[in-house]
Structure 1
Amino acid sequence: MVLSRVDAFIFALTATTSSVALMASQAMAEDVDSDGEIMVMEEVVVSAQRRDTTILEVPVSVTAIGGTELENTSATSIMDYAAKIPGLNLVGGGTPGQVTLTLRGVSSSVGGGANVATYIDETPVGSSSIYSRASILQLDFFPYDIERLEIVRGPQGTLYGASAMGGLIKYVTKKPNLQEVRMRGGAGLRSVEGGGDLGYNVQGSVSVPLVKDSLGMSVSGYHSNTPGYIDNYRRGEDDINEVRQSGARVALQWNPSEKIDINLSGIVQDVDADDQATIFLDPTSSEPVVDELSTGAYLREPFKKTMYFTALNISWNIGVADLVSSSSYSYTKTRDGIDGTSVYGGLVPIFSGGAVPEGNIYYDNTVKVKKYTQELRLVSSDEEAAFQWILGGFFTDETATNAQYFTAEDPAGNLVDFLNPMADILLDSSYKEYAVYGDVTVDFTDRFELTAGLRWSKNDQVYTEYDDGLFYGFMGSAMGGASSEEIVTYMVSPKYTLSEDLMVYARYATGYRPGGPNVAIFGIPPQVDSDTLDSYEIGLKGRLLDGKLTLEGALFQNDWQGLQVTASGGGFGWLENGGDARVKGLELSSSVNVTPEFKLSFNASYTHTEFLDDAPSLGAVAGDRIPFVPDWLIGATADYGFQVSGGWTGWVSGSVRYVDDQTYFIPDIGASRTMDSYTTVDLRAGFENGPWEVKLFANNLTNRHAHTDESLLVNFFGVPVNGQATILQPRTIGISVGYSY
């Protein structure tokens, strides 16, 4: 591996930090006091294991990022704070709301559904079906109204069920304040290198105790605009990919007694992008056709995603246990416009008998998902007991439609009537899941405890496909199928406390991603089975130097059975099980307060992946790497707090992240390619005086035009026509002002 100057700097910083602490995670909340000192405060409590536990006590790899820290990154997407999360890789889809998550080498780029579960508080969001594009349409949740973000690595199938093979991302939202009125507000400006107009953001929240200590309500909202920076050389248009994001949240908390806690919330979120942050590459060299910020798409490729989410969480202490009910309903609509001219445009003169020259093909893909979930669980209430337990049941009812519509235009942009629609496809699917689970923790001695869990799940699915249009009208009115599966997942985790501040643990856990029915066509498997994962992990975590140093590390191996892979032929696509794979890895992280004002944080992960069997439909052979999983992910952050004057305090923060090269496959031509490694540098600063705060940031300071995704388009005749790459947002500089009351 050849290192650039910036890469060499990262590894030098890594070596320096590692000499202080080999392994760690940020396990302390922190702030800057009036003297500019970074204060070590209370231990962070996380809830990702279904009970509140300090991050250094739970025997699983977990990272927690506080809401203030998220805001300080000036994030508009989860990609903006990935540097803080060991083992997390993101494949960008071109806009916020389009991203594929990978944790510990378990890539959602393989197969149809997501491999990393996403929760808001106690309820899941996103689809469990293989027909809803769940692997790429992940949630980007704005950080202004978030208490913290929890990322749990390794399969969480016992407590969270389907689609948590790689791990879990959990957004914990802020509850209303029941004692006093709280108000916050802010606004900011940002400039993107190569972009047009300035971007901006505004946000605000208010929390009011309607009945002191008993009933409270909060309302928050935001809107942000990110200017476009991609030019289209074919159409002669500049800055085409402007993005607008907005959302609001209403929350109500009611404590009718000391034993009952009721929380009701509603969220609406909208992403509206004029075009994608993608560029054209030469199909042979993979170099930009024009430059690093230019595309040659014939047509606009807009993206719009709207989510409505409501949740009701009730906790009632009944003495021996807490009875928890979590209910949610969500509706998500995603509309994605895709330029299919390069792939299908050559068919226009063929089907028009030469009357119409090669024209434009527009592909409209609209996905709607309605999801209802209900979970009931009992959690033993005595946190000091030698025997603690959880018993729960879960149900979800999900319906989805995936509408795909192809239209043909002549070179002037006029619809060719006798060719339209070229294809009109509607995929209807339903997914119902039932599950019961249990989890127990036994303290055998003051130092040794054992946690074990078991979950039984059953899912029933129905799939119907309606085809019409020039290409598919001969298929008939409807076809489809049904499937039913029963899955058992389990977990065993012994933990041994070496000292008051240091412990080791081992963990064996399993997870799965649901399968489902395939389209009913001769020669295609009637259904794809769930793929499953067995994970083996040993870890160490703790703190030293009077809490100034925290450390965490883990060695793991994932045995992945029956991988779901995509296959295609005759104009149809489907899923099949493509053999086994193995992932081996190491995660290390550290956080140390070098002085009261200066803190260093570091994380690194090494992940070795390989297919154990050939996967012909994917174009992979045994020994190949799993696509879009870098071997190395490294991040380092330095924070410095200081006193200014006139009551002002300040802080500065700098972070670097290295992402190793990644492999991807091109099954249409039986080839694979490598996406280059890259390094990013971010700088941030802030100044506070009482209720006022001013923040400045420079993300991607070196203006690295890194590729977060690559693909090669092959036309209908099997000829490579052009490559595409999603570009990391260029250098973005901004300022924001906030006020809190």
Structure 2
Amino acid sequence: MLMIKKVLCAPTIAALILPALNAVPVSAIAALEEIVVTTRKREENLQEVPIAVQAITAEQIERQGIKSLTEVAKLSPSVQFDTSFGPQDTRITIRGLSNTRGRSNVAFLVDGIDVTTENVISAGSGLLANRRLLNDVERIEIVKGPQSALYGRAAFSGAISYVTKEPGEKLETKVGLDLAENGFYQLDAAVGGPLPGFEDVLGLRLNAVYWSDDGYYTNSVSGNGVGGGDGFGVALTGVYTPADSIKIKARVEYSDDKLKPTPMVRINGDTQVNYPKQAMAPPANMGTSAAFSGNSLGVVDHGVFCPEGVITDESAGPGFCLPGSYGSASGKAVTLSENPFTGGDYDGTTMDLLRTTLMVNWELGAGVITSHTGFTDSNSAQHYDQDYQAQGRPDELLAHMETKNNQNTTQFSQEFQLQSDWDAPIQLTLGGLFWHEERDLIDNNSIVACLPVTKGVNGEILTDIEGVCDGNLAPIPTNTYSVVGWQPYASQTTPRPSVPGFDGVQWNAETDHQSIYGMLEWSLSEAFKFTLEGRYVDEEFTLRRPNQSSCTALGFTATYGSFVIPLQSEALNPGLDVNCEAIHTAIAKVAYGLDPNGPEILADLLCISPSGGVICQREDSNYDQTLDWAFIQGTEESKFFTPKITLDWMPSDDTLVYFSWAKAQKPAGFNQLGGGGSPSTIEDERFDSEKMDAYEFGAKTNWELAGFLQVNGAIFYQDYTDKQVSTQELVNDRLRPKVLNASAAEVWGLELELVWQPEMIDGLFLSAAYTHLDTEYVDFFDDTALLYRPASTGSCEVVQKGDAYFCRMDLSGNNLERTPDNSFVGIVSVQRPFMDNAFDWFFEVNTTYQDERFVDADNFVKWDDFWLVDLRLGLASEKWNIMLYVENALDDNTLKSGGSGPDFGRQVQELGFTAGLGVQNFFGPLPDPRVLGARLTMRF
């Protein structure tokens, strides 16, 4: 019934988009400046492109202070931008398709060159997707819907393209100053024009920017500001035109940014959910202690586990408390642990980037040959607390997790294109792309739990919590208790010892992409045009990864339960014998709370020699010997063709109607999630391509209605299969994170855009954009060993896989994660002469509304809906602008983004390691409050 209803709605929606075609059209479109875009890799009027495109002009970028993708997303109701546990964990969504796992669904381009990447270890699109923009962006184009044919490897659901400025025909100089509350300021300058002595052939433009920000929040533990940072960037652009038919544009940029730790807060549970009884009953017995869990308690042994102050029903348990929503910032304090080696806050995130581009256009009599060459070299480092729940100074929390890694990313891109300019009804575009990326990451993340440290040091039990880690049920029995927190022991677990020939924390990912593409445009008549385009892709992705995360592979911290006891080599543990069966196994059994002389076989113990070789031999014939190595490596090759068909009709110069069908596909790959699970083979880490069929019907129209009126709209349907999602599986009694293709989904959508410049009020400009999304998983069954998930969904069919039991959840009918049903952006702008002076006054109001969204596919935890209002008031002339602005004028404090993951802090401390990892931790960054500021721009 739902499908029939949606199909029948299409004519009705079309009627809203397309007024009667015999209405009076605009005779001249001089009311608004014509916007030229390069969406189809050539300059075209925005209103004549049969694709849903939004263009943000240089004037908008300057006046609205757009500095990053966060501000870009505020201007488009079809775009959502999220950050999770750190600045690198970025998720960009266009038309409801979020990359829960795997590569970004959205391509990022700079001057037509693909710079899309993805994270290693964690999900997200990486720091390159949200780096701070320099002050030389001429235009930002948001292309909605799959554009694989023209944009290539990453434009699964759309693309965001940045076009940089070129030197003008005369010398121009511009300086700008932006000041705001909480110590924010930005200085920028640019100078450009023809080079003296070479005015007819060579122009140069140099621009630079410096910024600093104290941040809007304070870490309650240290008293220092969080969320700010500082940085600078420079760019030099040259345009060389040795002949009228040849244009060469070269650009080089460098930036260096330092970001303080994000003001991240933990979202406490407030709603009781009860574990499914059929899963806890025999023979499944899910949620109880496993054979090699260190005799820690299972989640069901704790009854109803909820924060203090939450009203619970113990008789309905056992269960757990999840947050119903992220709520607002009210009552939430930032409690980030300090770095025990410095006594101050962690460094946060640093990133430096060098990027060069070279574009060559050669106009021939029959067409244009174009070359795009790009190179990117980026280095980043991250070091911050990742449990967000410090207890005092020093931190007395008895468990801790910190993120510490360094990554280098290099990209090289070369594209050639031939575009015809025939005096004929048929035009042809042909091109080829070679794209190469290497990502190298050193993972030094660490986890400290209530256990003695290793490396030959006899530490103390770090807790006296009865029944959890007090010696009765603890992995290492002892009579010594000391509630001193984790920080005094950090010096014994770091820095990591170096073992020649063995680096257990290095990740290497390499992508080689080759593709060819073409587009055939056939003008069937003066009004009708048929376009056929497609791209053939041949891509290889090679991954070399440790079989464990740094928390388990090098043995620098004392962990247990689902993590390996780190007794792996003499170099790491001086004085220990390398006889695995005699010494290592005995010590490890004690660490797991077992009899060292008992019959148990520790199937998950890794023993690595200093040279990286395996030194353990298992006597247990049931143990898979092939799983016992330090690194795994493999290559995944994807070959596919992505076609697109478009039929457009222009009944008049002011009306365009189009229909398109496109097939999109994301390449297959390997799981790049880090974790402490059991070792695996590279074959177990593979996942297949995601695929989508997209249908779109749209119109772009200009009208005369008491002034100039522009109405654009589109309805679309996206059939999404083989979505890449994360789950976990039980191997050798241990959970392991995994990415798999598990679901199909549908997205129905409506987009409406309206621009009106009424003639009754000179200088008044009104615009509104609205997006409605109806998203649904239509075939999604997920097997999980985490009981809180079926507790929240109410769906659990107990299934057996080997010796393990799982809850099979039916998530069909749930909404896609991170996707609002309704979004709206409205702008009211007026600019008029200021009395009899040679300058204008202006006033602008920007309004953004976003509906509530679910955090994940389980559809329990959500972000609430919100309104944002920004105000600007100023004076403008040809030579200068000055304005006062208020961002978030209503001081909305709704949490708008975040993520979830295992809690290696309080829940591990209070429940023990095994049970603590059986529940989930939700977290999110605090939103920016109301901010007052001023901008000044001067041009010479």
Change (3 A) 1:478 1:711: closer
Report the more deviating stretch, 297-306 or 690-699: 297-306
Structure 1 residue 671: Cα displacement: 7.2
Change (3 A) 1:306 1:615: farther
Structure 1 residue 232: Cα displacement: 2.6
Structure 1 residue 334: Cα displacement: 2.8
The residue matched to 1:525 in structure 2 has which SS?
Answer: helix
Q: Would the aligned equivalents of 2:826 and 2:847 in 1 still touch at CA under 8 Å? A: yes
Which residue of 411, 420, 439 corresponds with 1:371?
411
The amino acid across from 1:477 in the alignment is A
Change (3 A) 1:419 1:176: closer
Cα shift readout 1:150-176 (whole Å, capped 9, x = no counterpart): 111000011112221110100011111
Report the more deviating stretch, 418-427 or 290-299: 418-427
Cα shift readout 1:580-610 (whole Å, capped 9, x = no counterpart): 1111100001000023211110000001111
Structure 1 residue 424: Cα displacement: 5.1
Change (3 A) 1:64 1:290: closer
Structure 1 residue 412: Cα displacement: 3.8
Structure 1 residue 522: Cα displacement: 4.7
Q: Find the counterpart in structure 2 of residue 532 from structure 1.
A: 691
Q: Find the counterpart in structure 2 of residue 628 from structure 1.
A: 818
Which residue of 201, 212, 230 corresponds with 2:186?
201
Change (3 A) 1:342 1:264: closer
TM-score, length-scaled by structure 2: 0.69
2:647 equivalent to 1:494: yes
2:608 equivalent to 1:608: no
Cα shift readout 1:303-359 (whole Å, capped 9, x = no counterpart): 2222211111001112211110101010122323342457999xxxxxxxxxx9824
Structure 1 residue 269: Cα displacement: 2.6
The amino acid across from 1:710 in the alignment is G
The amino acid across from 1:659 in the alignment is Q
| Greater strand fraction, Structure 1 or Structure 2 | 1
Q: Find the counterpart in structure 1 of residue 932 from structure 2.
A: 733
Q: Find the counterpart in structure 1 of residue 432 from structure 2.
A: 393
| CA distance in structure 2 between the aligned counterparts of 1:20 and 1:737, rounded to whole angstroms | 42
1:559-570 equivalences under 5 Å are 559-569=719-729, 570=734
Q: Find the counterpart in structure 2 of residue 711 from structure 1.
A: 899
2:634 equivalent to 1:644: no
Structure 1 residue 180: Cα displacement: 1.5
The residue matched to 1:375 in structure 2 has which SS?
Answer: strand
Q: Would the aligned equivalents of 1:184 and 1:739 in 2 still touch at CA under 8 Å? A: yes
Q: How many residues align?
A: 689
Which residue of 145, 148, 159 corresponds with 1:154?
145
Change (3 A) 1:361 1:83: closer
| CA distance in structure 2 between the aligned counterparts of 1:613 and 1:729, rounded to whole angstroms | 38
Structure 1 residue 418: Cα displacement: 5.2
Structure 1 residue 22: Cα displacement: 12
| CA distance in structure 1 between the aligned counterparts of 2:206 and 2:328, rounded to whole angstroms | 47
1:150-299 equivalences under 5 Å are 150-177=141-168, 179-191=169-181, 197-210=182-195, 211-233=198-220, 235-284=221-270, 286=323, 291=330, 294-299=333-338
Change (3 A) 1:697 1:369: same
Change (3 A) 1:478 1:95: closer
The amino acid across from 2:415 in the alignment is E
| CA distance in structure 1 between the aligned counterparts of 2:328 and 2:708, rounded to whole angstroms | 51
Q: Find the counterpart in structure 2 of residue 315 from structure 1.
A: 361
| CA distance in structure 1 between the aligned counterparts of 2:815 and 2:859, rounded to whole angstroms | 13
| CA distance in structure 2 between the aligned counterparts of 1:281 and 1:713, rounded to whole angstroms | 12
Structure 1 residue 709: Cα displacement: 1.4
Instruction: Give the unaligned 5+ runs of structure 1.
Output: 1-17, 29-37, 192-196, 346-355
The residue matched to 1:76 in structure 2 has which SS?
Answer: coil
Q: Find the counterpart in structure 2 of residue 469 from structure 1.
A: 554
Structure 1 residue 60: Cα displacement: 0.5
Q: Find the counterpart in structure 2 of residue 481 from structure 1.
A: 634
| CA distance in structure 1 between the aligned counterparts of 2:513 and 2:712, rounded to whole angstroms | 35
Q: Find the counterpart in structure 2 of residue 411 from structure 1.
A: 486
Structure 1 residue 130: Cα displacement: 7.0
Cα shift readout 1:269-301 (whole Å, capped 9, x = no counterpart): 333111103223223354679945622232446
| CA distance in structure 1 between the aligned counterparts of 2:380 and 2:122, rounded to whole angstroms | 10
Which residue of 432, 448, 457 corresponds with 2:528?
448
Q: Find the counterpart in structure 2 of residue 329 from structure 1.
A: 375
1:587-598 equivalences under 5 Å are 587-594=751-758, 595-598=761-764
Q: Find the counterpart in structure 1 of residue 739 from structure 2.
A: 575
Q: Would the aligned equivalents of 1:114 and 1:513 in 2 still touch at CA under 8 Å? A: no
Change (3 A) 1:289 1:642: closer
| CA distance in structure 2 between the aligned counterparts of 1:540 and 1:671, rounded to whole angstroms | 34
Change (3 A) 1:136 1:490: same
Change (3 A) 1:22 1:561: farther
Structure 1 residue 43: Cα displacement: 1.5
Report the more deviating stretch, 727-736 or 535-544: 727-736
Change (3 A) 1:366 1:725: same
| CA distance in structure 2 between the aligned counterparts of 1:556 and 1:568, rounded to whole angstroms | 34
Q: Which has the greater radius of gyration?
A: 2
1:499-518 equivalences under 5 Å are 499-518=652-671
Instruction: Give the unaligned 5+ runs of structure 2.
Output: 1-15, 272-322, 339-344, 449-484, 498-502, 556-563, 569-605, 607-627, 673-678, 790-809, 904-912
Change (3 A) 1:424 1:681: farther
Change (3 A) 1:710 1:41: closer
The residue matched to 2:130 in structure 1 has which SS?
Answer: coil
Structure 1 residue 501: Cα displacement: 0.3
Structure 1 residue 414: Cα displacement: 4.8
| CA distance in structure 2 between the aligned counterparts of 1:144 and 1:415, rounded to whole angstroms | 43
Q: Find the counterpart in structure 2 of residue 549 from structure 1.
A: 709
Q: Would the aligned equivalents of 1:184 and 1:206 in 2 still touch at CA under 8 Å? A: yes
The amino acid across from 2:110 in the alignment is I
Q: Would the aligned equivalents of 2:512 and 2:540 in 1 still touch at CA under 8 Å? A: yes
Structure 1 residue 490: Cα displacement: 0.6
Q: Would the aligned equivalents of 1:407 and 1:420 in 2 still touch at CA under 8 Å? A: no
Change (3 A) 1:388 1:578: same
Task: Tell me how large the CA RMSD over aligned residues is.
Answer: 3.0
| CA distance in structure 2 between the aligned counterparts of 1:311 and 1:115, rounded to whole angstroms | 24
TM-score, length-scaled by structure 1: 0.87
Report the more deviating stretch, 579-588 or 97-106: 97-106
The amino acid across from 1:641 in the alignment is Q
Cα shift readout 1:646-677 (whole Å, capped 9, x = no counterpart): 322111110111110011238xxx77312111
2:833 equivalent to 1:654: no
Change (3 A) 1:145 1:97: farther
Q: Would the aligned equivalents of 1:343 and 1:721 in 2 still touch at CA under 8 Å? A: no
2:137 equivalent to 1:113: no
